[in-house]
Amino acid sequence: MRTARLICLALLLSLHAVSQPAVPIPDSLKRDAVMVVRQDQEQIEIVSPRKARLYRHYVYTILNSRGDIYGSVHTFYDKFHDLVSATATLYDADGRVLRKIKKGDMQDWNAEGAGILMSDTRIKYYPFSCRSYPYSIEYEEVVETNGLFMLPEWQPQPARNVSVESASLTVGAPVNYPLRYKAYRCPDKPDISEEKSTRTIYWSIRGRCVLPEELYEPAWFDQAARIRLTPADFELEGYKGHLNSWEDLGKFAGSLYVGRDRLPDEARKQVHQLVDGLGDERRKIAVLYRWLQQNTHYVGVELGIGGWQPFDASYVYTKRYGDCKALANYMVALLKEAGIRGATVLIRAGVAPPMDTSFVCPQFNHAIAVAFTGQDSIWLECTSPILPAGYLSSATSDKDALLLSPSGGQVVHTPVYGVHENRFLRHVKGTLSADGNLEAQLIYDYSGLEQDALRSYIGQTAKREQMSLRQQSLGIPNGLIKDLSYIADSAAIPSIRETISLSAEHFAVTAGSRLLISPGYFFKRINGLTEMPSRAHDIQLSASYEEFDSLELTIPEGYTPEGNAFTATYSCPCGSYRIRSTFDEKDRTFRIVCWFTEHKGLYPAADWPRLVRFFNLVHREGIRQLALVKQ
């Protein structure tokens, strides 16, 4: 009966929405928008720890070509989500129906490909198109769940260039059902009502305009209004669990791993052949990790509860592949056979909302491993064939995560790499001829997060292409790379040395008795910033790193730098910058040295003038032109 009442309400709302596309949109909502959410209703009716019925109805009005991505409708279904019905309608600017489709008219795709080998998730998709703007899309769907481990997250404003006229979320559940929720940046508290044995919670927002974008602002997921929901009690494919604490979540996830760390005899023998006789546990861990990297590769496997349960270690050893959780579990099994304690760690990798440790719910999209030796933790990214043992890339470093232990889940924080680890050192030594030609050797040292992209690039690109692309990235007119080489190490903080032999005709421009040079090609280069009368958002800097640049340029006989040596210094909470120049008349060497540091963090909007001054100084020095005068 409760479900019937909910669906009847949804149908009444949808009948009202049919005329909605023709209703004028307020100018405030159209300003700078690519799409307007005219109406978006999501309704969740929880029946039991295993059953729920999800209803969604929306009307989107697409204003221009940049909003066409919202003109296609899509949804998914799998063994835990039964797509009961789906309908969609395309309207023109006057509200006339141009096309109407049902579930059977939608394309049906599987989710395999793009690194996913096997998946039972299916995607329903239909690409609407319209020759004129604005046009509107109305979509309705009903989904029934078989398992309630995760509930949809409500985010009514999907992007900053989308405005919202009206959106709501309604959740109904038995009065005694332990539903938990958390609201982020929602202006109003929910309306909560009870009728007989049902509790209903209702959120709504109206009149949300497009938010102007600001440089170095927090990511959209840190600005948008959203609601997270989680069932404190749940059941999934015969597994029952609770989500009252991270320990609870870890116990449930850990139960899916029980008995899956058993290695076949052949693999056990291999482990002992690799590490027996190695006295140092760190070396054992590195050897086993490298062996895993050389003998397995990543593929996605998402069958049933396999989104959370790994293939067992024997399967990975035999097939030589696995997804992230299977490879992490396999690594832990190898460590266990070697007498070393290890654990799987669930994490939210990449550019995504960070784990909210104050709200217990599944927030993870990846799994890694960690090994323990003495008081140290050695982190292992088991899907990467190139990362050294103990090092995590920007995708998983400096993040809260959930370690799975026999006693349950434990929140941990992955390694943080700062200015001492993330470094880029440039040293350029060259000779400038009287006709302005440059011959130079460039030695660039990258370490920590600064070397991540380069390490992946040089492992996948032929040398000829490397030289061509590197020549373009230097951006030096008439520059020619005559030789290019890389030396990479696999230390706990990995580094790469890049050596370039460079020749550039007319690097210096002749202007009468002067040679004009632009040394900034070899320094930190950054775009200048503009002051603003007021700033709405805090300042988000995403990484801590240091750059050190040094240029030694032997200039032609008879020339001397025009003007006095220069120096500049600036420091603020966001970072610091120093530059100075010298000229040695004896060896005719002109030297410029500069240091740049940036500190990761969230800074108040009031610090914007400091960041402007900081970056504009770096920008000014990066485009500085110097004159060598003939005596």
Query: pLDDT-based confidence at 237, cuts 50/70/90?
Result: confident
Residue 512 or 403, more confident: 403
Task: Give me the residue label for tokens 């500085």.
Answer: 624
- 569 burial (CB, 10 Å; 0-12 / 13-18 / 19+) is exposed
Which pLDDT does position 305 carry in this prediction? 63
Give, as one character, the DSSP assignment of residue 66: G
Cβ-based neighbour number of residue 304 at 10 Å: 15
Query: Nearest Cα to 139, choosing from 170, 187, 112, 105?
Result: 105
Per the CB < 8 A criterion, the answer to whether 496 and 478 are in contact is no
Flag whether pLDDT at 468 surpasses 70.
yes
Query: Nearest Cα to 505, choosing from 435, 558, 443, 429?
Result: 435
Flag whether pLDDT at 381 surpasses 90.
yes
The mean pLDDT of 430-435, rounded to a whole number, is: 95
The mean pLDDT of 409-419, rounded to a whole number, is: 96
Backbone angles phi, psi at 626, to 5 degrees: -110, 150
Cβ-based neighbour number of residue 29 at 10 Å: 21
Separation of alpha carbons 9 and 45, rounded Å: 12
pLDDT tens string 545-574: 999 999 999 999 999 999 888 999 999 999
End-to-end CA distance of the chain: 97
Separation of alpha carbons 249 and 148, rounded Å: 14
Query: Nearest Cα to 147, choosing from 243, 50, 58?
Result: 50
Please report which residue ranges of 276-356 form alpha helices under DSSP H: 281-295, 313-319, 324-337
Name the pairing type of β-strands 423-432 and 545-554: parallel
Fold for the domain defined by 2-236: Immunoglobulin-like (2.60.40)
| Residue type at 494 in one-letter notation | P
The whole model's pTM is what? 0.90
Flag whether pLDDT at 270 surpasses 90.
yes
pLDDT tens string 285-312: 999 999 999 999 998 766 446 578 899 9
Contacts 24+ apart (CB under 8 A), 96-103: 98/130, 98/135, 99/128, 101/126
Flag whether pLDDT at 131 surpasses 60.
yes
Task: Give me the residue label for tokens 């088991």.
Answer: 382
Query: Nearest Cα to 501, choosing from 583, 560, 587, 443?
Result: 443
| Residue type at 44 in one-letter notation | I
Which pLDDT does position 306 carry in this prediction? 53
Per the CB < 8 A criterion, the answer to whether 170 and 44 are in contact is yes
The string of DSSP letters for 471-511 reads HHHH--TTEEEEEEEEEE--SSS-EEEEEEEEEETT-SEEE
Which pLDDT does position 128 carry in this prediction? 92
Mean pLDDT (the chain) is 91
Residue 318 or 461, more confident: 318
Separation of alpha carbons 234 and 148, rounded Å: 6
Separation of alpha carbons 524 and 155, rounded Å: 39
Query: pLDDT-based confidence at 49, cuts 50/70/90?
Result: confident
Three-class DSSP category at 206 = strand
Separation of alpha carbons 335 and 288, rounded Å: 8
Which pLDDT does position 4 carry in this prediction? 41
Q: Which of 175-179, 279-283, 498-502 has the highest mean pLDDT?
A: 498-502
Q: What contacts 419, CB < 8 A, 6 or more positions away? A: 544, 545, 546, 597, 598, 599
Express as a percent the part of the chain with pLDDT over 90.
75
Range of lowest pLDDT (11-25, 121-135, 159-173, 602-616): 11-25
pLDDT tens string 106-117: 998 875 544 444
Range of lowest pLDDT (15-29, 35-49, 264-278, 387-401): 15-29
CATH match for 423-630 among 1.10.3720.10, 2.60.120.1130, 3.40.50.1980, 3.30.2320.50: 2.60.120.1130
Flag whether pLDDT at 472 surpasses 80.
yes
Q: What contacts 522, CB < 8 A, 6 or more positions away? A: 426, 428, 442, 549, 551
Q: Domain boundaries in the chain?
A: 2-236, 246-413, 423-630
Per the CB < 8 A criterion, the answer to whether 340 and 285 are in contact is yes
| Residue type at 350 in one-letter notation | G
- 472 burial (CB, 10 Å; 0-12 / 13-18 / 19+) is exposed
Separation of alpha carbons 23 and 279, rounded Å: 76
Question: How many residues are there in the chain?
Answer: 631
Give the CATH class of 246-413. Answer: alpha beta
pLDDT tens string 1-28: 444 444 444 444 444 444 467 788 999 9
Flag whether pLDDT at 178 surpasses 90.
no
pLDDT tens string 70-96: 999 999 888 888 999 999 999 999 999
Directed axis angle between helix 265-275 and helix 324-337, to 10°? 60
Which pLDDT does position 120 carry in this prediction? 65
Cβ-based neighbour number of residue 197 at 10 Å: 11
Tokens describing residue 82: 């039964």
The mean pLDDT of 429-451, rounded to a whole number, is: 96
Which pLDDT does position 301 carry in this prediction? 64
Range of lowest pLDDT (264-268, 305-309, 390-394): 305-309
Which pLDDT does position 361 carry in this prediction? 92
- Going through 175-232 in order, the beta strands assigned E by DSSP cover 179-184, 191-195, 198-208, 226-231
Tokens describing residue 414: 């992955």
Separation of alpha carbons 485 and 498, rounded Å: 6
Per the CB < 8 A criterion, the answer to whether 289 and 271 are in contact is no
Which pLDDT does position 375 carry in this prediction? 87
Which pLDDT does position 437 carry in this prediction? 95
CA separation, residue 492 to residues 249, 282, 289, 379, 451 (Å) = 31, 11, 13, 10, 13
Query: pLDDT-based confidence at 119, cuts 50/70/90?
Result: low
Q: What contacts 587, CB < 8 A, 6 or more positions away? A: 554
Q: Which helix (H) or strand (E) covers residue 251, if one does?
A: helix 246-255
